């Protein structure tokens, strides 16, 4: 099921706190938006931006914007880390290899 996408204008934005409020085009109460709703945006939002979003309820039952995008702003896809770097074991192996290399460098520097 696809949620309705709503258009609105970013009425306020607190850059230092990463949130603001959208005034929906159809009227009604302003909608809270957090920077995390704008995943992949190539820039931060500014007051006056046209925002497309889906409404959702937070833990207190208040509406908030999710899956949001800024009109005219490019979405940058996040590159996933290679599968090798996703397990604890591989990270431990990399760390051990780096320690071994560092120990070898130190040993070579101490050799007469």
**CATH number, domain at 47?**
2.40.50.140
* pLDDT reported for residue 84: 60
Same domain, 29 and 50: yes
Same domain, 12 and 40: yes
**Domain limits for position 100:** 80-112
DSSP classification of residue 84: G
Same domain, 20 and 41: yes
Same domain, 60 and 85: no
Q: Three-state SS for 82?
A: coil
**Per residue in 30-87, pLDDT tens?**
999 999 999 989 999 999 999 999 999 999 999 999 999 999 999 887 666 666 666 7
Q: How many domains does the chain have?
A: 2
**Per residue in 76-102, pLDDT tens?**
876 666 666 667 787 788 888 899 998
Alpha-carbon gap, residue 27 to 95, rounded angstroms: 55
Both tokens of 55, joined, read 């409404």
Q: How many CB atoms lie within 10 A of CB 7?
A: 13
Same domain, 15 and 58: yes
Q: Three-state SS for 12?
A: strand
Phi-psi region of 25 (alpha: psi -120 to 50; beta: other; left: phi over 0): alpha
Alpha-carbon gap, residue 7 to 23, rounded angstroms: 9
Alpha-carbon gap, residue 42 to 38, rounded angstroms: 9
Please check whether residue 1 lies inside any domain of the structure: no
């Amino acid at each position: 099921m696809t949620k309705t996408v709503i258009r609105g204008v970013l009425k306020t934005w607190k850059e230092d706190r990463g949130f603001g409020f959208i005034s929906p085009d159809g009227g009604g109460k302003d909608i809270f938006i957090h920077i995390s709703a704008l995943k992949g945006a190539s820039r931060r939002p500014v007051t006056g931006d046209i925002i497309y979003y889906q409404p959702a309820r937070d833990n207190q039952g208040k509406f908030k914007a999710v899956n949001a995008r800024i009109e005219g702003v490019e979405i940058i896809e996040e590159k996933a880390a290679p599968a090798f770097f996703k397990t604890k074991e591989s990270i431990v192996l990399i760390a051990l290899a780096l320690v071994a290399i560092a120990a070898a460098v130190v040993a070579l520097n101490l050799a007469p």
